[in-house]
Amino acid sequence: MTLREKGWLLPPAAICLTLGVLLGRAADSVLWGAGACLLSLPALFLMRSGRRWIAFGVLSLSVGVLSGYLSFHPSLPPEGEYLVRGMITDEIRSGNFDRKSTRLSHVTLDGKAMPGGLYWSWYPDESLSDPLPGDYVTFTAELYHPEGASNPDGYNFREELLRRGMQAAVHSSKNLQSESAPFFSLPGAAARWRYEISCRLITSLGDETGRYAAGMLFGARSLIPSEDRAAFARLGIAHLLSVSGFHVVVLFSLLSFVLRRLSVGRKGIFCITAFVLGLYCLLCGMNQPVLRASLLLLLAQYGRIRLRPVSPLHLLSAAYLLLVLLSPVQITGVSFQLTFGAMLGIVLISRYLTDLYHPSSQLLRRIWEAFSISLGVQAGILLPQLSVYQQFPLLTFLINPPSVLIGSALIISFWLVLCLLPVPAFVSLLAAPLSAVSGFLLEIVRKLAALPGISLWTPASNWLTVLGVLGVFAALFPLARFRSSFRIFSLLAGLALVIGSLLPTWHSDTEYIQFSAGNADAAILWDQDRIYVYDAGEADGIVSGFLRRRRLTPDAVILSHLHSDHAGGLQSLLDDGIPVPILYLPEGAEEQVIHENMLALLDKLRRQGTEIRTLKRGDMLSFPSGTLTVLWPEAGRIRPAQDANNYSLVSLLNLKGTTILESADLPGAYDTYAAEPARILKAPHHGSPTSSTGDFLRQVDPEVVLLTCRREQRADDYQQALSGAGIVPRLFATARSGAVFIRFTDSGFEATPFLPDRGQQGSIDSDGGITP
């Protein structure tokens, strides 16, 4: 076989490997992987025949199944409380309500070494100093196994941690002790260097410019305000703030330019750039986009040294195969998909467009090449962009080329500052002009992003979108000799499918969706074309993600009380740009004991035009298919400065003749004030033993109970409480069933769990029976 013929084995092998990894991800036993490898053995006999591409594809598929299963299903230590020791090897991120999180490496649990990393989250103790990156910490915490997606289109926390090299998670900082590392660790040292360099950049360049310098050089995104990150995303230039292939290309080009000026040969340039890029990967915490871009650049440079012309498609396929074999879990990550989608768009579409038109003017040629690359990148990332972000920047083709030039100049300037940090006098000369330029550019970005209609909010992509994108790629595919008529038809049909797939559809049903949010509460009532959010959960994007992916805006948000596990999701709605026209609160909600951040969030909503109304016993809201009647709190019984749970909003929904009792976090001392017979009960306070008295349960006498909880043990305990009260309803606990969908009809209702294999098998019909 010639080198070119061997190269054509790579693209189909990459496709087969991907399919294999996805099959391994879905497999429930390692036997599937072992069986696939055994079945691939006959393919070895084809390796020397003319059908070796079949053998290569079968082998790739088999390896993918086995590696996919092992990567997506690691063995984990049992859940429970452990004495945890480990080294902080990542930046420490700050979340809502002062929550901190980071990665631990070199972990021991009760003295036993744990392979892989550990995700650690905690709320800091004001009496203790915060640990720093590179520190070695000791504490007692509860270890838990991260959950996969348990909601429709939900965030897969488990796979996200796997992509970042973490297999399990702990929460708490009980008896926290922090000290310098007792041994040398390259990841720990890199985390400390990254932290100290970031601090020096902030000190030298000023707070705002220094934060952006650290973010654009090392990916310290937590230093950049979320509002600015959203502004860059609305303009389609978010890649400037996330350390990615663009930043690696800038560093690589800068190094190559300097080394060529120093008359260094090709081999010397390759060795020096490989060393520097390796060091850069380490300083960025082995960031996957940096690793991918470094590998691609070094492979291309190695091909030039060997004087072997390599097809860009074959080079891309080789890098893809190597990276997937090293970390199969990356293929489900949006970062991986954006990287290779953009590169595929450049290799295929940009190449076709560049060859299509050859301007005589050098300036026009450069402009056309920049436009072709921008269009190719946008086509390549269209599917993951619509699937994950649901927004299409309308001016990206105009904004991207100048932003790349300006961003490159800024990154080069920041690298210059970094090299001059040992000489503060030189840095001070650069600080003022850099701060002025970056401040001016940030102001332009913020103003442009604030313009109405600067980006198009779309529903998530679907199979029609996939077919449409494939049609566009077929029309612009440079390696096939299609007729012009076919290319025009394929292009128009593809664009029509993409546009048609993103048009809104009519919703005529009445549905209640109880999301799985751990020990938090979040639900949506989708009644024909009206949307009502009933509690928004934590600030984890569960509710906002569901609405954003379907391009839905709520008509109103109803909060049972202002604890973060019910109201924190308001912040996610704001972050995603989803308006809240009306907010309903129980009367006296703002007078109870609540976090100051929640009051600030309410003030922010008021400034944005949200109308805040209060509800009390006897008030009623009308829906297209029914009503909501407030049962608690009762006017005259509300006292200020109490636990907000005591005056949670309890309401009775009547939807097409079926009643639901929403009991919020009402404690047992108050539940009899709000007890009403109902066919469906939302269990009070996540099934807490201090709620749901026997008298309350007997008065409600439900057919179905919805229990929002994180632990399956809570579900078992609540089932015993129901039995002790002498009632036997069907229990849907989100810890087992995930989200629960209830569809209402004129003859009754049907309840269906999102994860039927972990909860009830099938669904519950209007008579309370199981429907397969």
End-of-domain residue from the set 352, 373, 389 = 389
Residue 283 included in any domain:
yes
718 and 579 belong to one structural domain:
yes
49 and 175 belong to one structural domain:
no
Q: Can you give the pLDDT at residue 769?
A: 40
Q: What confidence tens digit (pLDDT) does each residue in 155-211 have?
A: 888 999 999 989 999 998 888 999 988 888 999 999 999 999 999 999 988 888 999
Q: Could you give the C-alpha distances from 140 to 109, 114, 136, 176, 294, in angstroms and in order?
A: 10, 15, 14, 7, 39
653 and 760 belong to one structural domain:
yes
Q: Which residue has the higher pLDDT, 532 or 309?
A: 532
Task: State how far the Cα of 615 lies from the Cα of 656, in Å rounded to an integer.
Answer: 23
Task: State how far the Cα of 6 lies from the Cα of 16, in Å rounded to an integer.
Answer: 16
Residue 410 included in any domain:
yes
Residue 409 included in any domain:
yes
344 and 293 belong to one structural domain:
no
Burial of 127 per CB tally in 10 Å (0-12, 13-18, 19+) = exposed
629 and 730 belong to one structural domain:
yes
Q: What is the CATH number of the domain that holds 694?
A: 3.60.15.10
Phi first, then psi: what are they for 532, rounded to 5°? -130, 125
Q: Which domain holds residue 735?
A: 510-771
End-of-domain residue from the set 335, 360, 389 = 389
400 and 369 belong to one structural domain:
no
Q: Can you give the pLDDT at residue 149?
A: 86
Residue 315 included in any domain:
no
How many other CB atoms are there within 10 angstroms of residue 306's CB atom? 9
Q: What confidence tens digit (pLDDT) does each residue in 87-139 have?
A: 999 989 887 667 889 999 999 999 999 988 999 999 887 667 789 999 999 99
The number of distinct structural domains making up the chain is 6
Residue 537 included in any domain:
yes
Q: What confidence tens digit (pLDDT) does each residue in 341-351 have?
A: 988 988 888 88
Confidence class of residue 225 from pLDDT cuts 50, 70 and 90? confident
Which one, of 98, 20, 109, lies nearest residue 59 by Cα? 20
Residue 729 included in any domain:
yes
* Average pLDDT estimate for 528-539: 93
End-of-domain residue from the set 12, 47, 72 = 72
CA atoms within 13 A on the CB side of 445: 26
Task: State how far the Cα of 250 lies from the Cα of 225, in Å rounded to an integer.
Answer: 24
pLDDT for residue 46 is more than 70: no
177 and 209 belong to one structural domain:
no
8 and 97 belong to one structural domain:
no
Q: How far apart are the first and last CA of the chain?
A: 55
327 and 378 belong to one structural domain:
yes
Residue 709 in contact with residue 565, Cβ under 8 Å? no
Q: What single string gives the DSSP state of each residue in 359-428?
A: -SSHHHHHHHHHHHHHHHHHHHTHHHHHHHT-EEETTHHHHHHHHHHHHHHHHHHHHHHHHHTT-HHHHH
Q: Pairing relation of β-strands 650-655 and 626-632?
A: antiparallel
Q: What confidence tens digit (pLDDT) does each residue in 459-503 have?
A: 888 889 999 999 988 888 887 788 889 989 999 999 999 999 888
Residue 710 included in any domain:
yes
pLDDT for residue 13 is more than 80: yes
434 and 341 belong to one structural domain:
no
569 and 716 belong to one structural domain:
yes
Residue 658 included in any domain:
yes
Confidence class of residue 759 from pLDDT cuts 50, 70 and 90? very low
170 and 116 belong to one structural domain:
yes
